[in-house]
Structure formats: structure tokens, C-alpha cells
């Protein structure tokens, strides 16, 4: 099956700094990528949807200036947590759907996640 | 608003026993439903999905799920559990039948030898 990678897998940063998380589709081109946030023992919450070459669409309640998403190519999307604070500590997961199809025919493939800890 | 409920937070079964994980959804029309499995250090993997047609859906790893409109349920089943099935299982529904997924809170499956 298709593979989605995330880098880094784990990051610890100081409060006030910015952190960039990469999401790559390794063996397919992803027209659409999704970013989720997962709190301990809770479900995944969709943060935003990004389409290659266009601005991301954020879910209600997600601060677009805090969580900057760039989907510059068909294989790479980045999430930058700006001026991170301890409450931003979480598990961030991306997923990607292949181009040329619809969600009806193409599965979302998920990355392994990035654990962010803000001190 | 659409929602997904997984009533069981944690289930423990013996290896070789049968398994049923419950999932209830809230949606007015016919939903698009998914089951994913999350193992530590790995991304969510799609087990199976239901869009239309036969209400009994076969998936990978010997799993199946049955869509029951009358009960608003999409329960996941496996006749004989293996120790490698221990993981977190998530049920999800597609928002307004689009790309966006709403996930349940997950059920952690523990398998004893």
C-alpha cells in the first residue's frame, strides 16, 4: 500500500518557538492532505484540509495564524506550529489522498504521527 | 451534526476468541463509514469501508463489519482474534460524504494468550 511519512516523529521545544512538521507521500502523488490532532486517549480531530497549490481550509476553532499549513508540492505538506505553548502539546497526524481520483475511490493514507511536547 | 460513538473504551479478549467492536453513528442520510486500526509507531490503517451496496463488508486481516441502518451501527467483527490484533481501533464517518472524517474515540483491544 501507499506510504505516508512524517518528520520528525518526536519533537520537544521551548515555549514561544516555532516547530515545523513535514508530511510526505512517498510513493504516490497527493492532491489532498489532511492534518489531525490527537489528544491522549481521545479521538483524532481534523484541523485542516490542504490541496496542492492552494490555501488550506481550516476547521472551525483552529487558528490559521498559529497552525500554518503549506502544501507546496504533490508529495509534501508542512504544518508549522508558531509560537508554541504547552497547550499545543499533542500528537499531530497527517493523511494524504492520491490524485486523479475521488475519496470514493481513493483511500486516505495516514502518517505515523508526530509527538510535540512544548516545555 | 454528524458524530460517531464507540461505547467501549477498552476490550480484552483471549486469543482465538471472537471479537465485536461497536460503533454507532449519527447522520441523516446514508453514511460513508470506515474502520481504522492504529498500532504504536504506525499510521492508521484502513481495515474496511462502507459506501453502499452489500451491508456486510469484508476487510483486511480477517475483519468484517455490518452496516445496520435501523440501529445506526457499523460494528466490526472478527471470528478469531490473534495476538497481533492488539491495537487501537477507530470508527469514522465521512462528513456529508466528503473527504473529511469524524472519528470515534477509539477502542483499545488487548489480547491475552
A23, A39, A110, best to mutate vs chain B, most B CBs in 10 Å: A110
CB atoms within 10 A of CB A68: 16
Out of B46, B94, B103, closest to residue A43 by CB: B103
- Nearest C-alpha in A relative to B42: A112
Across B75-94, b (16+ Cβ under 10 Å) vs e yields bbebeebeeebbbbbbbbbb
Task: Report pLDDT digits (tens) over A57-84.
Answer: 999 999 999 999 998 888 999 999 999 9
Shortest Cα–Cα distance, B41 to chain A (Å): 6
Task: Report pLDDT digits (tens) over B85-110.
Answer: 999 999 999 887 677 889 999 999 99
Contact B105, A39 (CB under 8 A): no
Task: Report pLDDT digits (tens) over A26-37.
Answer: 888 888 899 999
- What spatial distance separates the first Cα and last Cα of chain B, rounded to whole Å? 41
Mean pLDDT of A39-52: 88
C-alpha A51/C-alpha A40 separation (Å) is 28
Q: Mark residue A61 as left, alpha or beta (left: phi above 0; alpha: psi -120 to 50; beta: remaining).
A: left
A108 contact residues in B (CB cutoff 8 A): 46, 99, 101
Q: Is the pLDDT of residue A8 over 80?
A: yes
- Nearest C-alpha in A relative to B95: A46
The whole-number pLDDT of residue B69 equals 92
Amino acid at each position: 500500500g501507499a506510504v505516508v511519512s512524517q518528520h520528525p516523529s518526536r519533537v520537544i521545544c521551548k515555549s514561544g518557538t516555532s516547530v515545523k512538521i513535514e508530511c510526505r507521500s512517498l510513493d504516490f502523488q497527493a492532491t489532498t492532505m489532511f492534518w489531525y490532532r490527537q489528544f491522549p486517549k481521545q479521538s483524532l480531530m481534523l484541523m485542516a484540509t490542504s490541496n496542492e497549490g492552494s490555501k488550506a481550509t481550516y476547521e472551525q476553532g483552529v487558528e490559521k495564524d498559529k497552525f500554518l499549513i503549506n502544501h507546496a508540492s504533490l508529495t509534501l505538506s508542512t504544518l508549522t506550529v508558531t509560537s508554541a505553548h504547552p497547550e499545543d502539546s499533542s500528537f499531530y497526524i497527517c493523511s494524504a489522498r492520491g490524485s486523479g481520483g475521488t475519496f470514493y475511490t481513493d483511500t486516505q493514507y495516514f502518517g505515523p504521527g508526530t509527538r510535540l511536547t512544548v516545555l | 451534526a454528524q458524530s460517531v460513538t464507540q461505547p467501549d473504551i477498552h476490550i480484552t479478549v483471549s486469543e482465538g476468541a471472537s471479537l465485536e467492536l461497536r460503533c454507532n453513528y449519527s447522520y441523516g442520510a446514508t453514511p460513508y463509514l470506515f474502520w481504522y486500526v492504529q498500532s504504536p509507531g504506525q499510521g492508521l490503517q484502513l481495515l474496511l469501508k462502507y459506501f453502499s451496496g452489500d451491508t456486510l463488508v469484508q476487510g483486511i486481516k480477517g475483519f468484517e463489519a455490518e452496516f445496520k441502518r435501523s440501529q445506526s451501527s457499523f460494528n466490526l467483527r472478527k471470528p478469531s482474534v490473534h495476538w497481533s490484533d492488539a491495537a487501537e481501533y477507530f470508527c469514522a464517518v465521512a462528513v456529508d460524504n466528503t473527504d473529511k472524517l469524524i472519528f470515534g474515540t477509539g477502542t483499545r483491544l488487548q489480547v491475552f494468550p
